[in-house]
Every structure is written in structure tokens, then in C-alpha cells.
Amino acid sequence: MTDRNPSFSRRDLLRLGLTAGAASLAGACGWQGGPLQPFLRGASRFNDLVGEGLTSHRLAPQYPVSARSRERDFPGYVRSHPLPPVDPATWALEVGGLVRKPARLTLEMLKALPRVSYTVKHHCVEGWSAIATWAGAPVSSVAALVEPTAEARYLRFDTFDSGYYNGWDLKSALHPQTILAYAFNDRDLTTKHGAPLRLYSPVKLGYKLTKYLTRMTFTAEKPGGYWEDQGYPWLGGI
Amino acid sequence: MTERPEPDKEEQEPEAAPAPASAPAPAPAPADTELSPEPAPMALEKPLEKPPEKPPEKPIRRPLVKRHHGLIRVTHWANAVLLAGMIASGLQIYHAFPHFGLRGGPYYLNHWDGKYFPKWARLGGWLAGGLNWHFALAWPFVLAGLAYLTYLLVSGEWRSLLFRPRDVPRAWQMQLYYLRLRKEHPPQGKHNALQKAAYTFILFLGALSALTGFAIYKPVQLHWLTALFGGYELARYWHFWAVWIFVAFTLVHVALVFLVDPASLRAMITGWYRGRFPSHD
């Protein structure tokens, strides 16, 4: 197409060269994008949407128990040092927002719900992976209890970990493998992994799997998220 | 594919050729105004082709021919920029977990295991920045690749570029020539058989990079693809290896442009070539 005007490609090359130069300078300074930040965020959103289109919300593959990673190799991140003490006997999950029957669910009540257990691979946004067994109550079962209204499109999860919070779309939250986990490798969840209750799903990156839950709120507006607000992909599906 | 009309199409341009650099005249040669790096290197090439007792006193002005379509040129340079950005942001992502294998190891053989890359080589500043850059550049990279492949197929250009079984003996002859075990340069079309092998390989590598990238991006939803590469951890490993093959290829590629065929640089910029190799099969 550019054959008729070869000077076009020269100018184009110059432009490319300038971009390359700028890109390497940017790399040199650890530049995060500056004025390009909105573009990068936009690209991330586009990416999320394409990713969502690609995904059929299929179930994550399961592994034999023998494939589990050693527990000391499965890290757990926390923001608070130290975490505020929580008494599992008095702790409860507040479920509210755009629902017909708000509820306060104790661990006993959650354990009385259908139990989903799987041995799956955990994918961290950092690039590491590890295998473990998780068990808990499906978010869909909790949703059935509280009956979200038609306007509810998102779920916001709050924690007692220094304001760490997260937002999920309802479709992902109601995925059959999305659970409120209370057990890790056949035992009660430890503090390291989010006791007394954490969100878990093998089809999302680790930072979406909110630990130390206190509250679950159905909303019409898209909630942010601790990491998402800083630039991580919002959907984080894998 | 429309050929450009007149001026450059005359086979032999009668205009006085610039004095080659081998003439010891200190006066700057009135080189043509288009940025063309050729006069000096041409003089270098000459002795390989002509008997030594006839130094290049009367240079032949080679014809200027159309060598690369605009789409080839645009995707070529776009790739150069996109790959540089993707490698730099990829090294930023690597920074977050500089190992390959399930957490806790054993980790796969990797010279950079547990090591970090210098700040100047990384793009994005931190993990999320690196990821956002990587994804923002990944889609244009895939699109440029698809546009290029489509062009190759539709134009028939693949015939002069892709390495085929018939090129095996030709590649061997070319190798012999490079090793000085064969005197004459084997006949060739637009590319010699070794070039075909290299360009076919790099296309394959580009596809491998994109596919392993998708395998890491959606290891659950594209589980079949991830499994094809041996699982998530191995897909990540191959994705990383592709970087170093790209880097090595680029270094050799650029070196050969200047050592063997400097006129090809102009061809990749403007599309027009005045060099010693054929531009069509």
C-alpha cells in the first residue's frame, strides 16, 4: 500500500525509532507509563474482556492428593503485621447489600452448607504455582440463601486485613468452583492461608482469592480491589 | 504490489557513480542523497567476486529494484519495537518470581535462576506495570504476526521465504560456501537457503512465543494448549527461552545485514534495493 510513496515508510521508521528510543528510556527509568497510564489501564481492561470472551468458565483440572506441594512451599501473603486476633467462635461473615435476606453466617452455618473440595493448582500473578486441597461452601450456595436482587451484578469482599478488599463479577462468583474455603489440605484453614474464612477459586489469580473475610456485599456498581486499584487486572481469570 | 512508475525502474542508471571508498581520494564522495549505506561496504564485497588484480576501479551501478512490500516493512519494524518492549516488560514480570517449576522446586535449568535483571532492561517499574505493558504490546504483536502471515500466503511470497525440503541440499552448499569449502556463491533467489531456514525458524519462534504466552495467560481455560507445552510451569519456561533465541537471532541478523548485504537495510526501510542479490526468485 505504501509503495507509491516510499518516503512514508521512512517517516514511519523514524516514528518507530523514536518510539523504540522512548521505550528503552522508559525501561531505563522503570517508567510505569506516565501519561500512557490510562492507555495501559485501558489495555488491561481490554485484555480482561478478551480473556473473559476466551473463557468458557470451564472447570479447573484437579490433581491427585499426592501431587500436593509441600506446605512450607505454599506461601501466604498478608498485609497486617500482626493480624488483629480473631476468635473463630464469635467470628461471622456478614452477607448483605442487594439481597432479600441479609445473613450473618457463622463457621458452623457455613460448614452445614454443601461442601466442595478439590485438589487444584494455585496460580499467583507473580508467576509461581503450587498445588493444594481446599474445601468450603460454594458462593452460589450462600447466594441462594440470601437471594440477591435483580440489580446485583457484583460482589465485594471485605476483610480484617488492613483494608484489603476485592471485587468480583457475579458470574465468576457463582462459578461452581468458587468457594468460601475453611479447610486447607484436609485441616482447618491456618492463619497463613486466611483463617477463619477465605475466598478460593482455581480459575482466578491468587490476589482475587481474598483471605480473612468479614463481609460479602452484593452491589450494582463494580467494586475496586486492593491490588486492582493499583493496576492489576480486575477480572484476573486464568 | 503496484510497481512504482518511472524513475527508479531503469535497469542501469547512467548517472556517474560515486567514487568508491577504496579510492584513496580524501574528498568526500558525492554519495547519493538517499540514506544509503552502501558505497563503502560494496567496496569490501568486491574482492570476493572479482579477481584480485582488478580492484574495483569501475564500479557498476546496480539497478534499483523493489524488494519489500510496505506491509512487510511496517510489520518488520513494528515487530522490532514490540518485541523489545515485550522482552523488557517480560523481564519485569520475571522479577516477581525468578524460577521455573512448581513453587519449592526443583527448578528447571536456568542460568538466571534466582537472579534479577538490571533496571535498565525492565519496563513497567513493578509487576502490574510490567504486566500491563506486556499485554498492551502482546495484541499488536499477534496482529502484526497474523497480518504478515496472511500477506505471505496471499502474495505467494512464502515461496521465496519458507524453507522447504528441497532447500536442504542448497543450505548445505551455502554452508560450504560460508566455510570457504566452496568457491562460488551458490545461485539463489530472493533469499539463500540458509536465510530461508533462519526466517522460517524465526516465524516458528514467533508463533511459539505467542502460543506459550496464551498458555501462561489462560492455563485453565486453554488447558489443552498449556498441556501441549507440558503444563503451566514448562510453558513459562519455553516462553522465557524464546526470549534468548530472539535476542541471539537479532544480534546475528543485524550483524549479517552490515557484513553481508548493507543494501538490504535500505530495502527494509524504503522497499528499494540496490544490491548484489536477486530480489525475486
Please tell me if residue B12 touches chain A, with a CB cutoff of 8 Å: no
Please tell me if residue B6 touches chain A, with a CB cutoff of 8 Å: no
Please tell me if residue B118 touches chain A, with a CB cutoff of 8 Å: no
Rg, chain A, Cα only:
22
The predicted structure's pLDDT at residue A68: 97
The predicted structure's pLDDT at residue A57: 74
Q: Is A238 exposed, middle or buried (0-12, 13-18, 19+ CB in 10 A)?
A: buried
Please tell me if residue B132 touches chain A, with a CB cutoff of 8 Å: yes
**How far does B123 lie from chain A, in Å, by closest CA?**
4
Ranges of H-type helices in chain A: 6-28, 37-54, 107-112, 139-146, 170-173
Selection from B125, B66, B75, B69 nearest residue B95 by Cα: B125
Chain-chain contact of A27 with B70 (C-beta, under 8 angstroms) = no
The predicted structure's pLDDT at residue B54: 57
Q: Which of B1, B218, B272 sits opposite A55 (nearest CB)?
A: B218
Q: How confident is the model at residue A67 (pLDDT cuts 50, 70, 90)?
A: very high
**DSSP secondary structure letters along B148-213:** HHHHHHHHSTHHHHS--TTHHHHHHHHHHHHTTSSSSPPP-SSS-HHHHHHHHHHHHHHHHHHHHH
Chain-chain contact of B218 with A238 (C-beta, under 8 angstroms) = yes
Chain-chain contact of A3 with B2 (C-beta, under 8 angstroms) = yes
Max CA-CA distance within chain A? 78
Q: Is the pLDDT confidence value at A17 over 60?
A: no
* Residue A86 to residue A70: CA distance in whole angstroms: 27
The predicted structure's pLDDT at residue A21: 54
Please tell me if residue A150 touches chain B, with a CB cutoff of 8 Å: no
DSSP label at residue B95: T
Q: What mean pLDDT, rounded, does chain B reach?
A: 85
Give A-chain residues touching B85 at CB under 8 angstroms. Answer: 23
The predicted structure's pLDDT at residue B42: 43
Q: Are A215 and A221 in contact (CB under 8 A)?
A: no
The predicted structure's pLDDT at residue A32: 63
Please tell me if residue B147 touches chain A, with a CB cutoff of 8 Å: no
Q: Is the pLDDT confidence value at A44 over 90?
A: no
**How far does B221 lie from chain A, in Å, by closest CA?**
5
* Residue A60 to residue A118: CA distance in whole angstroms: 10
* A83-120: pLDDT as tens digits: 999 998 899 999 999 999 999 999 999 999 999 999 99
Is B195 or A20 the better-scoring residue by pLDDT?
B195
Chain-chain contact of B4 with A128 (C-beta, under 8 angstroms) = no
Q: Is the pLDDT confidence value at A193 over 80?
A: yes
Selection from A226, A198, A192 nearest residue A212 by Cα: A198
Q: Is the pLDDT confidence value at A22 over 80?
A: no
Chain-chain contact of A129 with B85 (C-beta, under 8 angstroms) = no
- A32, closest residue in chain B (CA to CA): B124
Q: Is B38 exposed, middle or buried (0-12, 13-18, 19+ CB in 10 A)?
A: buried
Chain-chain contact of A232 with B131 (C-beta, under 8 angstroms) = yes
Q: Which of A20, A74, A203 sits opposite B220 (nearest CB)?
A: A203
Q: Which of A12, A41, A123 sits opposite B232 (nearest CB)?
A: A123
- Torsion angle (degrees, nearest 10) of CA A24, A30, A35, A40: 90
- A227, closest residue in chain B (CA to CA): B128
Q: Return left, alpha or beta for A163; rule: phi > 0 is left, psi -120 to 50 is alpha, else beta.
A: left
**How far does B42 lie from chain A, in Å, by closest CA?**
23
Q: Is B226 exposed, middle or buried (0-12, 13-18, 19+ CB in 10 A)?
A: buried
Amino acid code (one letter) for B234? L
Q: Is the pLDDT confidence value at A136 over 50?
A: yes
**How far does A9 lie from chain B, in Å, by closest CA?**
6
* A201-233: pLDDT as tens digits: 999 999 999 999 999 999 999 999 999 999 999
Q: At A167, is the secondary structure helix, strand, or coil?
A: strand
H or E segment at A105?
A: strand A103-105
**What is the DSSP pairing of strand A213-219 with strand A93-97?**
parallel
**How far does A84 lie from chain B, in Å, by closest CA?**
28
DSSP label at residue B10: -
Chain-chain contact of B70 with A9 (C-beta, under 8 angstroms) = yes
Please tell me if residue B33 touches chain A, with a CB cutoff of 8 Å: no
The predicted structure's pLDDT at residue A7: 43
* Residue B25 to residue B92: CA distance in whole angstroms: 51
**What is the DSSP pairing of strand A179-184 with strand A103-105?**
unpaired
* Residue A165 to residue A199: CA distance in whole angstroms: 11
Chain-chain contact of A10 with B69 (C-beta, under 8 angstroms) = no
The predicted structure's pLDDT at residue B57: 62
**How far does B1 lie from chain A, in Å, by closest CA?**
7
Scored b (16 or more CB within 10 A) or e, B106-125 reads ebeebeeeeeebeeeebbbb
Q: Are A118 and A62 in contact (CB under 8 A)?
A: yes
Chain-chain contact of B232 with A19 (C-beta, under 8 angstroms) = no
The predicted structure's pLDDT at residue B154: 97
Please tell me if residue A232 touches chain B, with a CB cutoff of 8 Å: yes
Q: Which of A19, A50, A73 sits opposite B104 (nearest CB)?
A: A73
Ranges of H-type helices in chain B: 39-49, 70-94, 127-155, 158-161, 167-178, 193-217, 223-228, 232-260, 263-270
Give how far Cα A115 sits from Cα of A109, A145, A163, A215, Å. Answer: 12, 15, 28, 20
Chain-chain contact of A40 with B133 (C-beta, under 8 angstroms) = yes
Chain-chain contact of B71 with A1 (C-beta, under 8 angstroms) = yes
pLDDT tens for chain B, 281 residues long, are 444 444 444 444 444 444 444 444 444 444 444 444 444 444 444 445 545 565 556 667 889 999 999 999 999 999 999 999 999 999 999 999 999 999 998 999 999 999 999 999 999 999 999 999 999 999 999 999 999 999 999 999 999 999 999 999 999 999 999 999 999 999 999 999 999 999 999 999 999 999 999 999 999 999 999 999 999 999 999 999 999 999 999 999 999 999 999 999 999 999 999 988 998 88
